Amino acid sequence: MQLELRSAHVPGEGNERRPLAALCEDEPHVHGEWAWTIGERRVPCMGFWGADDVCLGQWWDELTGAVAALSDRQPYTLDSCEQGDPAFLFERTDASLHLSIVAGIGGGAPHPEWQNAEFAWDDLGAALRRFKHDLRQLLELKGPPTLPAEWKKRFSELV
């Protein structure tokens, strides 16, 4: 299992991709290409306007919540509730995790080929820590001098 941050931008009007320096309180969203692979397969349905338009803040928050729930062996569902988007169901069995792409509240269909994709529990925590480190470093290098409050809060978390 691998999570790889390949690009980041501030979304603008339509498909406009603005530089990270445009990040501000009025526009605190960071999107980008975040490739998640399990085995040899790339996890689909993560982006809003394609694979290079994943909401990185949402995935930061949701995977942080998933790790907390899964630590207690509770299943976790990430459902953006966007019209047409499926949901991501995480379930833990001892040292393994299973990811299923299931029907979303907003009407997204399940993906039959993405049911119970297995990967190691330890890999998720390590990959999430790397992603957080890489995104933080990128925002510190290319972002604005003052980060929006929601990013300051994320960066204050213990990783």
Residues 148, 149, 154, 157, Cα dihedral to 10°:
140
pLDDT in tens, 103-147: 999 888 999 999 999 999 999 999 999 999 999 999 999 999 999
pLDDT for the residue 108? 86
For residue 65, the SS3 value is helix
d(CA 77, CA 108): 14
pLDDT in tens, 9-58: 999 988 899 999 999 999 999 999 999 999 999 999 888 777 888 999 99
**120 pairs with which residues across the strands?**
96
In terms of pLDDT, which residue wins out, 79 or 48?
79
Confidence of residue 83 (pLDDT cuts 50, 70, 90): low
